[in-house]
Amino acid sequence: EAPAPDALPAAEEGRIMIFRVEERAVLFIPEGWWHQVRSAPNTCAVNFWSRGVGGVLSQRARNNPRAAGYHLRVAAGAAVAAECERRLENELRTGQAAK
């Protein structure tokens, strides 16, 4: 069953990945990623939710407030780099610069 296109914007752009996880294998899905799972009959799935990087960084910032600025700079730098990469990929794919 397909998700509604407006629920998953990446699906509209054709950015769908399909994985088949074999016996005794693990698939890591990053925090915040939309996903759908289909399991074969007689499947036992184990899910684990962690605090994620955000929770770890929040705890470190509480323990050492001076470290918060460093973690913020690292996170902001990663966000800017990801946006630049997204725009470049879009420009290469469409031949048009992002506005």
Q: Give 60's contacts (C-beta < 8 A, 6+ positions apart).
A: 67, 71
Number of domains within the chain:
1
Percent of the chain with pLDDT over 90: 0
Higher per-residue pLDDT: 9 or 70: 70
Q: What is the pLDDT of residue 3?
A: 57
In a domain, 42, yes or no: yes
Backbone phi and psi for residue 25, each to the nearest 5 degrees, phi listed first: -100, 165
In a domain, 99, yes or no: no
Average pLDDT (44-66) is 75
In a domain, 89, yes or no: yes
pLDDT of residue 60 exceeding 70: yes
In this structure, of 3-7, 12-16, 42-46, 73-77, the range with the lowest mean pLDDT score is 3-7
Q: What is the pLDDT of residue 99?
A: 59
Contact 83, 90 (CB under 8 A): no
In a domain, 36, yes or no: yes
In a domain, 4, yes or no: no
* Residue 9 token pair: 């914007």
In a domain, 3, yes or no: no
**How many whole angstroms separate alpha carbon 34 and alpha carbon 32?**
6
Domain that holds residue 32: 9-94
**How many whole angstroms separate alpha carbon 66 and alpha carbon 1?**
49
